[in-house]
Every structure is written in C-alpha cells, then in structure tokens.
Amino acid sequence: MFNLSGYQTAETRWSRLGPYYAMFPMDFAFNTINEFSNKGDSILDPFAGRGSSIYAGAMLGRDAYGIEINPVGWIYAEAKLNPAPKDEVIKRLEYLYSLKGYYKKQSKQMSAFFQMCFCSDVLGLLLATRKHLDWRNNQTDVTLMALILDSLHGNIGTSLSNKMHKTKAMGEYYSLNWWQKNNLAKPPEINPLELLLKKINWRYQKGIPSHKTQSTVVLGESSQVLKQNNKKFSLLFTSPPYYSVTNYHADQWLRLWLLGGKDKRVQQQSKNHGGFTDREHYYNLLDSIFSHSAALMTEKSVVYIRTDVRKFTKEVTLSILKKHFPYHRLSTYTKPISQGKGQTRIFKNKPKNTGETDIIMTN
Ligand SMILES: C[S@@+](CC[C@H](N)C(=O)[O-])C[C@H]1O[C@@H](n2cnc3c(N)ncnc32)[C@H](O)[C@@H]1O
C-alpha cells in the first residue's frame, strides 16, 4: 500500500500541487494504478482534473494520457508532470515583479472587489502575470503560473489574497460584504515576491519528480480529443463531474481571470463549462465520453470509475458503463465517508448523504 502522507520527497511535494475540487486523494490514485495495471501499460483519464491519476501513473512507470477542459486543472497537471528548473522559474518571477510598477496605474482602475482582495503590489504583479506569462506554450511559464495559481487565494499570510476559501472563489458581492462584516475591508499588505519565493523554495527543496514515460495531459474537450485518437489503453481510471454538485469554471473564476478570463464570476459559460445541472446534457456528456473511451480500450481492459453516491449520478454512470462495456464484470464499492473526508467535502455544512462510490469493471 502506498502512503503519500508527509512532504519528505519530491514526489509527495509535487503530487498535491493545486487546490482543486473533487480531486483524488493521492494514496488512492497510486494504489489503484498499482493494483489494476503494470509497468509500461497505458492509462486513460478523460476527466483529468489537476492530473492526480496521470501524475501517479507517470511516477509508477505507466504511460498516462489525460484530458481536461478547465485550464486551471490542466496547468497544475502539466506543471507537476514536468516542472521547469527552479532558477528559470525564479528568473521569470523576478522579471514579472520588476514590471509591477508599470501595472500599478491599471490596478487602480480595477473593481472594488480586486482592491479589497489584493494589495496594490500583489495586483501589479498579477496584472503583469496575466499579460506576460505564455502558459500555453512555455514550460517555465506554465510552472510559474501553477505556483502562482496555487497561492492566489486562501488564508491571510499564506496566500496572496484577503481571506478566502483556497479551493473555491466566492462571487464579488458576497466577498465584499463578508470582508466588511469581518473587519477585513483592507487587503493584507503582502510582498508577493517574498511570499512566492518562499513557496517556490519549499516546493523545490527535495528536487523535482522524475519519470521516463510518455505521460501527458491535453487541454481540451474529451469527446473531441478522443475522437481523433488511435492510442490503446488497458486501464480507464477517472472520476467524471457529479450531477449538479459544482461548477468547475464559476468556482475557479478568480484563477481563470488570471489566465485571461472575465473579471467576475460567471455562472454558465457554455454547456461544457457549467455546473452539469441539466439531466439530458449530463447523460449525453457521459455517454459520449465513455463511448469514445471504450473504443480505445484493449480487450482485457479494466475500468475504474469513482463517482458520486447519490442516485442520479450513480444510476446514469452505471447504465452508460454497462452499455459501452457489455462484456465486463461489474462490481461496486461504496465506502461510508467519515466527517471531513471524501473528495467533494470542502465545506462544513455539506448534506450527510454525500460520498463516493467506486465502479470497477474487469474482463
Ligand atoms: C471530478 S473532477 C476530476 C478530478 C480528478 N480526478 C483529480 O484528481 O483532480 C472532473 C473533471 O472533469 C472535467 N470535465 C468536465 N467535462 C469535461 C469534458 N467534456 N472534457 C474534459 N474534461 C471535462 C472538469 O473540468 C473536472 O476537472
């Protein structure tokens, strides 16, 4: 059994980069891959999130292939799979910091939300980051972007922002009211260079994780990407979004702003970027992605899906998987989730009947 608790190795330090909703616990990802595949096998995750399965696969010598539609998740995945050398990342950060004065004027024109969330030095650095980091094409830039996104919001003193949840960015009006009510109307004065250098030094202190696999995560919509693929996989290991639980794009709106997105929380952007609240669309999404995935699996493949225990998500997922893997034997495993555990439990007042169920199919 793998135990990735603690932060004593490069592998564990990088494994948890990037707060993300409904992410796999790292021990679970390592143990599942270890049990259901062999070194050299190929693994597919069409809902890769922050790349937990892909990272675990690469560390265990599997060629792991992931697809993720949300750039925030993709950036974390890409950075932890192939982090750029530390000195290059620091050089780039220092360059952005040197530009912050230039962006200060622009920062004064930002909305009340931004003025209360970040002090002017931080806002200057963030505007320079937004403008200059070529995170889609450059490994140094994607690594630095992942490290900045990781610290963008959270507790005062350990993040760049005024107090905010680390995983989910609240809307502007909610935040403004909350800060005012809690005597936090002035953002904390933070030296962003110092804070980020401290975080970077910690992350690199044990080195960087290494692997010799072809593992990769593609930024895109899974049905489209899978359609153009002719790879073969022996393990399908994934966790689809749960019906009507979260909106990955709206909840990450502040990080998406840093990547060039809108400067406010937007509920529904398009059918693939929303909260999965339409039953028919949810069914069609899973049907299409699992149908394309099934076409790429070897005959003796294993399917391991972790999903929501609640009725609609579970029943839809089971019926679609039976349809596309008709000759696989199926078993399910539902573990009661204790308070505070589980991959979707980030807020204290969650309903009690939440938890995950694992669907395992073998041939
Ligand atoms: C439950 S999360 C997966 C979390 C992942 N197991 C991890 O450890 O980070 C589901 C992910 O599916 C992504 N997603 C939803 N629809 C998608 C689509 N059509 N194509 C690709 N990714 C999609 C969401 O953005 C979200 O990151």
Per-residue pLDDT band at 1 (split at 50, 70, 90): confident
Q: Is the CB of 23 under 6 A from ligand 1?
A: yes
Q: Choose which CATH entry (3.40.50.150, 3.20.20.70, 3.40.640.10, 2.70.240.10) describes domain 10-81+215-362.
A: 3.40.50.150
- C-alpha 66 – ligand 1 centre gap (Å): 10
pLDDT at residue number 270: 64
Q: What is the distance between the alpha carbons of residues 202 and 196, in angstroms, rounded to a whole number?
A: 10
Three-class SS of residue 100? helix
pLDDT-above-90 percentage for the chain: 83
Per-residue pLDDT band at 226 (split at 50, 70, 90): very high
Name residues whose C-beta falls within 8 Å of residue 262's C-beta, 6 or more positions apart in sequence: 253, 256
Q: What's phi and psi for 70, nearest 5 deg?
A: -90, 120
26, 47, 287, 293, best to mutate for ligand 1 pocket (most atoms within 8 Å of CB): 47
Q: Is the CB of 68 under 6 A from ligand 1?
A: yes
- C-alpha 70 – ligand 1 centre gap (Å): 7
Q: Is the CB of 221 under 6 A from ligand 1?
A: yes
pLDDT-above-70 percentage for the chain: 92
pLDDT at residue number 340: 45
Strand intervals (E) in 156-273 = 216-219, 233-238
- C-alpha 241 – ligand 1 centre gap (Å): 6
At residue 318's C-alpha, the angle toward residues 313 and 323, to 5°, is 130
Sheet-wide strand order for 63-68:
216-219, 63-68, 42-45, 233-238, 297-308, 356-362, 329-334
Q: Is the CB of 67 under 6 A from ligand 1?
A: yes
Terminal-residue alpha carbon distance, the chain: 24
Q: Using the predicted structure, report yes or no on whether residue 44 has a pLDDT greater than 80.
A: yes
Q: Is the CB of 20 under 6 A from ligand 1?
A: yes
Instruction: Report yes or no: 236 and 321 within 8 Å, Cβ to Cβ.
Output: no
Burial of 284 (0-12, 13-18, 19+ CB in 10 A): middle
The 10s digit of each residue's pLDDT in 54-106 is 999 999 999 999 999 999 999 999 999 999 999 999 999 999 999 988 998 88
Nearest ligand 1 atom to the CA of 24 is 8
The 10s digit of each residue's pLDDT in 159-207 is 999 999 999 999 999 999 999 999 999 999 999 999 999 999 999 999 9
Average pLDDT over residues 14-33: 94
Q: Tokens standing for 325?
A: 């893997």
Which residue has tokens 């995560």?
Answer: 217
Q: What's phi and psi for 313, nearest 5 deg?
A: -60, -45
The 10s digit of each residue's pLDDT in 303-362 is 999 999 999 999 999 999 999 999 999 999 987 654 444 555 544 444 455 789 999 999
Per-residue pLDDT band at 46 (split at 50, 70, 90): very high
**Ranges of each domain in the chain:** 10-81+215-362, 86-204
Three-class SS of residue 107? helix
The 10s digit of each residue's pLDDT in 251-310 is 999 999 999 999 998 866 566 666 677 899 999 999 999 999 999 999 999 999 999 999
23, 67, 69, best to mutate for ligand 1 pocket (most atoms within 8 Å of CB): 69
Eight-class DSSP state of 193: H
Q: Is the CB of 50 under 6 A from ligand 1?
A: yes
Count of helix runs (H) and strand runs (E) in the chain: 16, 7
- C-alpha 68 – ligand 1 centre gap (Å): 6
pLDDT at residue number 347: 46
pLDDT at residue number 21: 85
At residue 248's C-alpha, the angle toward residues 69 and 361, to 5°, is 70
Indicate left, alpha or beta for 250 from its phi (over 0: left) and psi (-120 to 50: alpha). alpha
Q: What is the distance between the alpha carbons of residues 304 and 236, in angstroms, rounded to a whole number?
A: 6
Residue nearest to atom 25 of ligand 1 (CA): 70
pLDDT at residue number 12: 95
Q: What is the distance between the alpha carbons of residues 199 and 149, in angstroms, rounded to a whole number?
A: 12
Name residues whose C-beta falls within 8 Å of residue 199's C-beta, 6 or more positions apart in sequence: 147, 150, 151
